[in-house]
Amino acid sequence: METSSKALCLVGLLLLLAISTNGAGECPNSSPDSEAMKLIPCASAAQDANAAVSSSCCAQVKKLGQNPKCLCAVMLSNMAKMAGIDPKIAIGIPKRCNLADRPVGYKCGAYTLP
Residues 57, 97: contact at Cβ < 8 Å?
A: yes
Packed helices 55-65 and 68-75: angle between N→C axes, nearest 10 degrees: 120
pTM exceeds 0.75, yes or no: no
Question: CB atoms < 10 A from the CB of 20, how many?
Answer: 10
pLDDT tens sequence for the chain (114 residues) = 454 443 333 333 333 334 444 445 788 888 999 999 889 999 999 999 999 999 999 999 988 888 888 888 898 888 988 888 888 898 889 889 988 777 666 677 677 765
Domain ranges of the chain: 2-112
